[in-house]
Chain A
Amino acid sequence: MLEAQDIQAEHKDLIHDVAYDYYGRRMATCSSDQYVKVWDQTTEGKWIQTSSWKAHSGSVWKVTWAHPEFGQVLATCSFDRTAAVWEEIVGELPGPGERGTRHWVRRTNLVDSRTSVTDVKFGPKSQGLQLATCSAEGIIRIYEAPDVMNLSQWTLQHEVQSKLPCSCLSWNPSLNKLHPQMIAVGSDDANPANGGKVFIYEYNENSRRWTKLETIGSVVEPVHDIAFSPNLGRSYHILAIATKDVRIVNLTPVEDEQSLQSGVTKLDVQTMAQFEDHNSLVWRVCWNLTGTVLCSTGDDGCVRMFKMNYINSWKPVAVLKGDSSKAQCSSNNAANGNAVTAFSGTARYIKLGSISQTRETPWH
């Protein structure tokens, strides 16, 4: 169970992003080689590449799936200053009983940005088909496809100017109809003097505009990734931030007279945890389905996991170690007694084991 499986992705340059579809049975990867690849899982659990195409004329930074309700739809963004929406279509069928060749067609190319488009994300499905992009020039754009059956038509609904260059964004996935739509944006601006690097925006039904609710002032270092956890009916939102460390922030909507009158949510922002386990810059963060375990990667070459143990107490629980050149296995896990013996060749990553001490750091 602890043995990690490898997929030969064979991109020609660094893989920047990997995205799962809603069910976790399809996967898309994008890379600096300007290609996007789509992978499908067979019944045996093996991943096979089903499509690969040159999507942009620059590094493709991010790739993301739309909810399957809208079909098989991907969005990508790139250094070439564009974002694109792709749809999978079934081509001519070779014959009865066989599956048709499928390929991805570009439905639209969003060319509004004058600089690199650094992130792209579909909005929650309850709001229809919405797409948010952010760019190095610091503009957040919200697009909408008014007709979900026609993916080639997207209208630019909102343009929100942030003061700093944006590097990443995340929609609040809350299904609660009482929560207005919310987006968190991170900036990789390197100057700490420019203040907080995480901004929270909210859509105000009354003014029909996106307004900035909050700047998280405690994060002044460049932010490389940001992720709202699945809300799961909680009364607060959890935001994970990848900066020089892993930050977990709780955003609790405060219901008071003032916010009820103005219709603008007031947020109580509290940093719940700050992990310097990577001992270096943190590159990506992502959540499990219930928002109870956080995964992060850093320049130390490790994938680290942090878990919430009742009432917002977060603890590191596991480290997955990647090594470029050799199969390396070790286990310091006494608690579970997982005997991990040397795998030959294929297994490059294994769980090093549960961490009993909080500040345990493997060094390379």
Chain B
Amino acid sequence: MSEDCPFDCPESQLAREQIRENKKKGRRKWKGGRRVVFQLPELIDRISTFNMSGKLEIQWSPISHKFITWGAEMSLYQVQPLTEELPPTAFKVSDTHYAQVLTTNTNHHFVRSIDIYPKCETDLLLAIGLANGRVALTTFGPSEHDATGFPGKELVPRHSRHCNAVQFNPTEHNLIAAGLDKYRSDNSILIWDINKFNSNNEASHSGRMAVNTMAPAVELVKPIAEFAPSEVTYSLAWFYGSSKLLASGMNGKNIKIFDLRDPNKMVNSTSTKGVFNVCTNPNDDTHLASFYDNQICLWDMRNFEKPIVFIPQNKPVVKIEWCPTKYSSLASLQRDSSVINLYDIKQTVVSTDELEPNVMERIVTPGSPHNITSFSWHATDENRLLTIAVSGSIKDYTVFDRITVNWSTTTIVWSHGRKTLSYINDAFVDDISSHIKDRAKKRYGVQEEFAKNAELVKDNLSLANVWNWLQLTVKLAEGGMIRDTEEKHPGVLSVLSNIDPNQNKSDIVTMAWCDLGYPNCQSSIVFYRHEDRDKALRLCSWPLERDSQYLIDFIDHLETAKAYTRAATIAVFNLKLQLAIEILNRAPNDTDYGSTLNVVAMALSGFSDEPNSMWRQNCSICINKLSDPYLKAMFSFLTALDYNYDDVLNEKGIAVDDRVALASLYLPDEKLLDYMKKLAEELCSEGNLDGLLVTGNSDSGLKLLQKYLDNTGDIQSTTVIATRAFHDDLTSEIVKNWIENYRDLLNSWKMFHERADYDIMLAGFSTQKPPQQVYISCNFCGKSISAYLQNMDKSRGGPQLHKTTTTKAKLSSCPNCRKPLPRCCICLQYMGTTTGEPSGSKMTPFELWFTWCQTCRHGGHAGHLSKWFDEHQECPVSGCKCKCMALDALAGQP
């Protein structure tokens, strides 16, 4: 059992401790000549597995872009921002940086612990705690430290044993502490002053120690302080704030605090098993952390009896380290794990009682491909962490502080750590909210003419269609076409509702194809006429008569809009095959399918209604290969058997208008009504705005709008369409809720003018006059003056609200008690005094309106008051200290 093996793990230390204890017992027992039972094998097993893992360590150096790793050998690396071409020996450690080996030092074997001299400018000076107990000072090649004579020096304890920990004092850099295993009654913590040893080593020999069992030839330097006789030191840590204090984990039993100024006794101690990796918080001397097995202990130096918090871990802990750039944040690494756990520890004092600290856990994944064996925080770069894995893979990772985020009316803001907030305008997201805002600015929805609203949303076809439909229905209603319905914007469904297959039948018209100019056809086509069907056709903007000029115009219009297939199909639906062929032939070749259209025209010209004709059979086969829905519908229509047009009517690719019109022409009464109901239902459940044509402004139309809103979140169109088309429903809960939401949206964008425009429009549709918002009562008798005024108005006839000032009753005193009304505190005139303005003007100018402060209730003419507050802060009434103008915190803001 060699004691020189470089065991690193605390577990192995414990194990070794036990081995030694056992050995000792064994030895003693041997001496006693009694039989001994060794229980070593499993302990040795445990140790060797640790040993075999070839544990790699990593540490940032005080030079901000350099770090070291050590295991079997020590290497120095530097980190550089990524460039186009990586140097040959470099490898990526993050998305932005690469690392490169600078040198490797293989001079020292059995390294147990390393610390880096904190005062390095360009080169590193390392203190290496070795398995034989020495602390060697070394560098990577020639360095700035050569002049000081430090490199190559060794600090040697009296007796050889493992050096478990070595640490430079973070404040007084010249002090170095080493924690050693136990050797009889020898001290296990030694502290050297490297400055002293340098000056002493030649001049005086006081530094020499008398006994050196190990290497008598080596010059020995006397430590400046020694602690802890006959104890084992597992870990030690200097305090950052008070540089003379040192904490150490001893014996597997306690943590002790020593003071350099009083080497004879320890300052403080506590008994705990958590003796490993004792570390002090760089930002708070009261905090100490340590661990054992899978338990992290947090200590408060002011109350050292027991840990303030235990943090349980799932697996045995390997390493813990305080984050130097955060106030109180501890990182821990567990065995066989590729993640780092972070703990933010917050202590809070409420009056006198201290609350249990709040520990916030976070797990970060530095992206290491294998289990991490060690990590190290960067001393100055915020939250920057290096990890090294079993495989030697190194990752440079920056832990992101938790980001909070919020979204205002226009901007997204998010935090970054403690210092920075970032914000960005949300306009880059193409979303309905930005459309709503843009459209509201252009007065969408409140434009008098429907067509203008349609123009504003021409980027959204179905919305524009709704406005065009509204325009059309109004035109038709005005033209007397659909006068007999009660609704202003009737849907096809309600227009057709009078048709009854028994009582109010449609006329059946049968027309032979040969009469239409297709002499090679024998059969005929059947269509239906009814005055309500005519109205439906009108609503779909279809012609009533096939031969009217209207059809030609309608088709010309479609052609100019480049909807060639639609134009041709509508021509076919109106039994104008010749026209359809002409249209298709006229279609320019530059369109996507211009040349194919000519082929289609050719196919069309072969039309034959003979059920068994080759044309018909081929068409039926080819239909499914057509991609254009209109062409598909055209041939479906021509090849339909027994006047069954289901294929056309259920073709979703063609406009709802055309499907409705086709049904109105060719479906028998019963089928027509069924089809319309089914279509209305289907479009409602889809929230397809085209369905408004079918439903009109009925209840199902409202449901359709709700569905549209659910689908798109377009509260604006929903609200304005409801306002413009559903007058009867304006008082229903559902529409009121939409209106409220839309107004609230405009308000939070501060689009008050747009909201007011909308309010005015809304009030115009309301049958009730807006409720009175201001009431005046007498200051003295408390009776309502406005009520009196209203009565007076009524007695004169009619509501006077919108009348001009000339006819308005003027009062300057209370009609009940005859006391004067309040007066303007600037000009001292009573409210109601004639202003002397020419009585012809429509309304009293705003400056002469009476206004008052809601808090002190003093007031006067608006013009007078605004002038007053331009120069003063306090209320014009003497003795009143009210700061009327500044009360509203936003009032002063631009």
Contacts and interface: CB of A to CB of B under 8 A. Distances in A.
Contacts of A232: 709, 713, 715, 741, 745
Contacts of B421: 6-7, 9, 15, 18, 29, 47
B748 A22 contact: yes
B400 A324 contact: yes
A305 B709 contact: no
A93 B894 CA distance: 18
A79 B431 contact: no
A284 B404 contact: yes
A177 to B, nearest CB: 7
B710 A364 contact: no
A10 B419 contact: yes
B744 interface: yes
Contacts of B363: 281
B737 A177 contact: yes
A233 B431 contact: no
Interface string A213-253: 00000000000000000011111100000000000000000
A95 B873 CA distance: 8
Interface stretch (A194-202, A254-262, A263-271, A294-302): A294-302
Interface stretch (B41-49, B208-216, B422-430, B833-841): B422-430
Given A31-B418, A232-B715, A287-B407, A23 B750 contact: yes
A175 B741 contact: yes
Nearest to B426: A288
A328 B400 contact: no
Contacts of A363: 95, 367
B886 A2 contact: no
A117 to B, nearest CB: 12
Interface string A284-322: 101111111101111111010101101110000110101
Contact of B418 (A33, A281, A318): A33
A24 B398 contact: no
A116 B347 CA distance: 12
B418 A11 contact: yes
A280 B365 contact: yes
Interface in B386-420: 397-398, 400-420
Contacts of A328: 96
Of residues B95, B362, B398, B400, which shows the largest number of chain A Cβ atoms within 10 Å of its Cβ? B400
B733 A178 contact: yes
Interface in B420-455: 420-429, 431-433, 436
Interface in B863-894: 870-873, 883, 886-887, 889-890, 892-894
B376 interface: no
A284 B419 CA distance: 19
A165 B728 CA distance: 50
Given A100-B873, A289-B745, A295 B418 contact: no
B431 A292 contact: yes
Interface residues of A, number: 101
A299 B745 contact: no
Given A295-B412, A317-B429, A303 B710 contact: no
B404 A100 contact: no
Q: How large is the interface on B (under 10, 10 to 19, 20 to 34, 35 or more residues)?
A: 35 or more
A286 B406 contact: yes
B291 interface: no
Contacts of B425: 1
B364 interface: yes
Nearest to A20: B408
Contacts of B383: 324
A42 B419 CA distance: 21
A209 interface: no
B382 interface: yes
A326 interface: yes
A215 B468 CA distance: 47
Interface string A68-102: 10011000000111000000101001001101101
A300 to B, nearest CB: 7
B400 A300 contact: yes
A14 B429 CA distance: 28
B346 A79 contact: yes
A174 B878 CA distance: 47
A16 interface: yes
A79 B738 CA distance: 40
A32 to B, nearest CB: 6
A175 B740 contact: yes
A197 B709 CA distance: 30
A331 interface: no
Contact of B429 (A33, A57, A293): A293
B94 interface: yes
B442 to A, nearest CB: 18
Interface in B824-850: none
B404 A283 contact: yes
Contact of A81 (B355, B419, B890): B355
B428 A236 contact: no
A4 B422 contact: yes
A27 interface: yes
Contacts of B873: 93, 96, 100
Nearest to A22: B748
B398 A325 contact: yes
Contacts of A349: 414, 422, 424
B423 A24 contact: no
Contacts of B738: 233
B433 A288 contact: yes
Contacts of A322: 400, 403, 414, 416, 422
A1 B737 contact: no
Contacts of A96: 871-873
| Residue with the greatest number of chain B CB neighbours at <10 A, chosen from A2, A5, A59, A324 | A324
A8 interface: yes
A324 B404 contact: no
A258 to B, nearest CB: 21
A227 to B, nearest CB: 10
Nearest to A300: B400
Contact of A90 (B344, B381, B887): B887
Identify which of A14, A177, A281, A299 gathers the most chain B CB atoms within 10 Å of its CB: A14
Nearest to B81: A326
B617 interface: no
Nearest to A71: B889
Interface in A124-155: none
Nearest to B887: A90
Nearest to A10: B419
B350 interface: yes
B737 A176 contact: yes
A328 B400 CA distance: 15
B780 interface: no
Given A286-B407, A297-B405, A7 B423 contact: yes
Contacts of B744: 175
A159 interface: no
A205 interface: no
Given A299-B400, A320-B414, A32 B346 contact: yes
B358 interface: yes
A283 B409 contact: no
A13 interface: yes
Interface string B726-755: 000000011001101110110111100000
Given A307-B431, A320-B412, 18 more contacts: A2-B428, A20-B413, A43-B894, A96-B871, A236-B710, A281-B363, A286-B405, A286-B407, A288-B433, A289-B409, A289-B433, A290-B433, A295-B407, A298-B403, A301-B403, A318-B429, A322-B400, A348-B420
The 8 A-B residue pairs with the shortest CB-CB distance in the complex, in nearest-first order: A24-B408, A301-B400, A58-B348, A24-B409, A20-B408, A297-B403, A15-B415, A290-B433
10 contacts: A5-B423, A79-B348, A175-B740, A175-B741, A233-B742, A284-B405, A288-B431, A289-B409, A323-B398, A363-B367
Interface of A: 1-20, 22-25, 27, 29, 31-33, 40, 42-43, 47, 57-59, 68, 71-72, 79-81, 88, 90, 93, 96-97, 99-100, 102, 116, 175-178, 231-236, 280-281, 283-284, 286-293, 295-301, 303, 305, 307-308, 310-312, 317-318, 320, 322-326, 328, 348-349, 351, 363-364
